[in-house]
Amino acid sequence: MIGIARGEDRVALVTGGGSGLGAHIVRALHADGYRVLIGDVAMDGAKALARDLDAGGERVRAVPLDVRDKRAFVAVVEAAADWGGIDVLVNNAAITPTTPVMLIEPDEFDAVMAVNLRGPFFGCQVVGEHLRGRRAGRIINIASQAGQMGGTVTGAHYAAAKAALMLLTKFFAREFGGTGITVNAVSPGALDLPAVRAALPAERLQAIAAAMPSGRLGHPEEVAAAVCLLASSSMGYVTGATWDINGGTFMR
């Protein structure tokens, strides 16, 4: 049986890693033995998380990263050189407005696409080319069940970007086929996160949970565990896939 090879001192970059689901992914990768770069535009949260996990900065660092800017990814790759380069990219950064579809204005639509779709695209390009030179690596895109079914809470622009991200995952999986790089997506359903609880009344959340086959909302740690598994060196035969983590609300 093939064992699950964990961090083995490899380096992971998590975009939007300073808060929310990204912070849980950072914590899980760190616990698995990775050195972790927390890429974020909100540096206060990213720095606080880095200090909490590793006050000396030897295994966790906060790095400025605006995913809308391709050059920012180049700068992070360069900054990781003293750690030996990046081995794993987790494209997690996203914004989640809930504006009704008929009220979405052009600027808001463009802003969502810039972060939620263009950002991961640049990440796959820049970090993917870096990984190609290393002949190994993992790229994991954080998608959403909203991109498969249409969001009941999130906006149409968010759902459309996540649907496109799952398609981009397949394109990049083919692009890097045969290089030792895998590209996969994780598609979470409703998660028990502070932002979700702030967006919906408690009775609405209870109704959503009750309607799910699982009977509950997902825990962000469960998504983070799937990311760690896909990031491991034992998962080299899985690429171009989308893993559904949704309590059974979307089955295929």
Q: pLDDT per residue over 187-212, tens digit each?
A: 999 898 887 877 778 888 888 888 88
Catalytic residue among 158, 172, 176, 243: 158
Inside any domain, residue 174: yes
Inside any domain, residue 212: no
pLDDT score recorded for residue 182: 98
Inside any domain, residue 211: no
Q: The domain containing residue 33 runs over which residues? A: 11-193+221-241
Q: Span 206-232, mean pLDDT?
A: 93
Assign residue 110 the CATH number of its domain.
3.40.50.720
Q: Is the pLDDT of residue 5 over 70?
A: no
Q: Domain count of the chain?
A: 1
**Is there a catalytic annotation at residue 158?**
yes
Inside any domain, residue 199: no
pLDDT score recorded for residue 104: 97
- Identify the three-state secondary structure at position 182: strand
- pLDDT band of residue 103 (cuts 50, 70, 90) is very high
CA separation, residue 239 to residues 106, 126, 147 (Å): 34, 18, 19
Q: Span 57-84, mean pLDDT?
A: 97
Q: In this structure, how many other beta carbons lie within 10 angstroms of the beta carbon of residue 213? A: 9
d(CA 156, CA 34): 35
Inside any domain, residue 249: no
Inside any domain, residue 252: no
Nearest to 153 by CA among 195, 111, 114, 113: 195
Q: What does pLDDT average to over the chain? A: 94
C-alpha torsion angle, residues 152, 144, 93, 48 (rounded to 10) = 80
pLDDT score recorded for residue 49: 98
Say what the pTM is. 0.94
- Please give the order of strands across the beta sheet that includes 137-142: 60-64, 35-40, 11-15, 88-91, 137-142, 181-188, 242-245
Inside any domain, residue 95: yes
Inside any domain, residue 225: yes
Give the type of residue at 11. Answer: V
- Least confident interval from 32-41, 58-67, 132-141, 146-155: 146-155
Give the up-direction half-sphere exposure of residue 116: CA atoms within 13 A in the CB hemisphere: 27
Q: Is the pLDDT of residue 2 over 60?
A: no
